[in-house]
Structure 1
Amino acid sequence: MTANQAITVRDPWALLPSLGNLDAYITAVNRIPLLTPEEESRFARNLRERGDLESAGKLVLSHLRLVVSISRQYMGYGLPHGDLIQEGNVGLMKAVKRFDPEQGVRLVSYAMHWIKAEIHEYILRNWRMVKVATTKAQRKLFFNLRSMKHSMKEVSEQTHRNTLSEAEIEQVASTLKVKREEVLEMETRLSGGDVALEPQTDDDGEAFAPIAYLADDSQEPTRVIEARARDALAGDGITRALAVLDERSRRIVEERWLKVNDDSSGGMTLHELAAEYGVSAERIRQIEAAAMKKMRKALAEPA
């Protein structure tokens, strides 16, 4: 597949190998040239204003490598890499459909949320021990607890236990602002043996189970650097970004994105905030978008 072929195809997958040949697929998407900011804006406007599917295909094609990169972060759950990529591609297409170039944000930044959301849903649907993580708060606890356990394990490598100590449980509960009992419950699920790693068959033929593709790349250098950068942004970075907002904008962002209520329902909706401030829901959305833009600018600046 040449670069020109990749850029002119209307169907994003017409010239790509199938995900059944994963190595060939990854090699192919990494050869697809990236779009310039001007090209990206032009194609996005063509899609929004005229419903141009060829422009949509170009936007999708140029970001398939992003899906491959993000999907690698979730290989430790024991699910096939090809399936993770496929679900991430669904999220990418949703992002392309909703992308607004007038917001001043590159598609790569906007699409990350949609790609991760689809992969999260896939993991929660298919990893048996966490099917009960159905509420927003439980899902947040599941993904954050797994990440924090990994960080704690790196700090205390001299211990070989898989479960958290009492002090670590209290630390997690305090950091994630959840009850100690909720941490214990999710910790039990994560530490349980519900997933069979070995093939469950008496046949002599080949059988595939998570043990065949479960990889531990936690010590891979780029993964370690990414984790540290992510932790820094999630802590001091968010606090620094919120500090540049006025009181109303800060509260709207906190209610919409950073708050989980006791009933696990999440923060306030646009309409609830609109009623409180006596404005329209669209006005709240505009304030939220402007606040996010200021926060991104603050995060991009050196600490």
Structure 2
Amino acid sequence: MTRNAVVPLGYAPGLPSPVSSLEQYVRAVRSIPPLSAEEERELARRWRLERDLEAARRLVLAHLRYVVAIARQYFGYGLPEADLIQEGNVGLMKAVRRFDETRGVRLVTFAVHWIKAEIHEFIVRNWRLVKIATTKAQRKLFFNLRRLKGSSNALQPAEARAIADELGVKPEEVLEMEARFAGAEVPLEAPTGESEEDALPAPIAYLPDPGATPEEAVLEAEAHWLADEGLRAALARLDARSADIVRRRWLAEEPETLQALAAEYGVSAERIRQIEAAAIKKLRAWLTQAAGAGVPAHA
């Protein structure tokens, strides 16, 4: 895999990597039998309660076919198909890690979001080495423009306005994204075979240094500390009830409702809201104070 797996995949014996042979890989994953609903629930239960890695591996393997089907929808962006599939596999493994079979939905339904999210991130990071689609609306435009455009002809102003209205962006953004799709690739390195006198400077010659400045490195380290150790230290200063409410309302993957917490603690939902607001005010004050004091030397 291209990144550290959150759930060990451990390809089954004889299953090739998509990088080595995409065709063989597709045939192999299609040969893996799908799981019945009962088998899926049992494997998911074993992973959720016992952290049974073999159960997680079987869940992943049985759903690789769906990753291929989803990744094929993005083959038109000019990126390696094997990389798209591998990124989708990362999303699948993240979905398996978070899947709760007691919710009454099948894993494939739950995993679609995670698979697409990883593929989208990969495309946005790598497509033409240009930063694009930095907002939610622009991402929607990036991944839907070709479908809405419907032809290879240049968009007319009325067509651009119609697409902009549907996707919630400006017509100028639609036209700019269309131009990026149509634009030619520019090599970073200078073409070989040209004399030094005739050759223009290659883009790589004037690209900024991607490395962070010392000031940026300090700020980044401080931000990481505040979001991790700093937050944990600040939460530890709260009383147990306040800390529990903040964690379950703001730090959980699926935030708890005020009503559910009110029923658990035997108070009104308004009281839970007041406790939450007071706790957050204290956390902000402590974290601001910590940021002003600088990151501890051991951070």
Smaller-chain TM-score range?
Answer: 0.5 to 0.7
Q: Mapping of 1:41-52 within 5 angstroms?
A: 41-52=41-52
What is the aligned partner in structure 1 of residue 183 from structure 2?
Answer: 192
Q: For the residues of structure 1 that align with 2:76 and 2:88, how far apart are their CA atoms?
A: 16
CA gap 1:169/1:13 in 2 versus in 1, 3 angstroms = same
CA gap 1:178/1:284 in 2 versus in 1, 3 angstroms = farther
**Which runs of 5 or more residues in structure 2 are unaligned?**
1-7, 194-245, 261-299
Partner deviation per Cα, 1:68-93 (whole Å, 9 max, x = no partner): 11111111111111111111100000
Q: State the shift of 1:179 in Å.
A: 1.6
What is the aligned partner in structure 1 of residue 256 from structure 2?
Answer: 282
Larger radius of gyration: 2
Q: For the residues of structure 1 that align with 2:258 and 2:144, how far apart are their CA atoms?
A: 28
What is the aligned partner in structure 2 of residue 17 from structure 1?
Answer: 16
TM-score, structure 1 as length reference: 0.58
1:173 is aligned to 2:173: no
Q: For the residues of structure 2 that align with 1:30 and 1:79, how far apart are their CA atoms?
A: 23
CA gap 1:143/1:14 in 2 versus in 1, 3 angstroms = same
* % identity of equivalent residues: 59
Q: For the residues of structure 2 that align with 1:285 and 1:63, how far apart are their CA atoms?
A: 36
CA gap 1:183/1:283 in 2 versus in 1, 3 angstroms = same
CA gap 1:84/1:114 in 2 versus in 1, 3 angstroms = same
Amino acid at match of 1:44: A
**Which runs of 5 or more residues in structure 1 are unaligned?**
1-9, 154-160, 203-270, 287-303
Check whether the contact 2:138–2:169 (CA below 8 A) recurs between aligned residues.
no
How many residues in Structure 1 have an aligned counterpart in Structure 2? Answer: 191
Q: Mapping of 1:35-74 within 5 angstroms?
A: 35-74=35-74
Partner deviation per Cα, 1:92-126 (whole Å, 9 max, x = no partner): 00010011111111111111111111111111111
What is the aligned partner in structure 2 of residue 26 from structure 1?
Answer: 26
Q: For the residues of structure 2 that align with 1:140 and 1:285, how far apart are their CA atoms?
A: 34
Q: State the shift of 1:50 in Å.
A: 0.9
What is the aligned partner in structure 2 of residue 83 from structure 1?
Answer: 83
Q: Mapping of 1:217-236 within 5 angstroms?
A: none
1:92 is aligned to 2:92: yes
CA gap 1:52/1:127 in 2 versus in 1, 3 angstroms = same
Q: State the shift of 1:31 in Å.
A: 0.5
Q: For the residues of structure 2 that align with 1:117 and 1:192, how far apart are their CA atoms?
A: 25
Check whether the contact 2:90–2:118 (CA below 8 A) recurs between aligned residues.
yes
SS in 2 for 1:12: coil
TM-score, structure 2 as length reference: 0.58
Q: For the residues of structure 2 that align with 1:42 and 1:126, how far apart are their CA atoms?
A: 38
CA gap 1:13/1:143 in 2 versus in 1, 3 angstroms = same
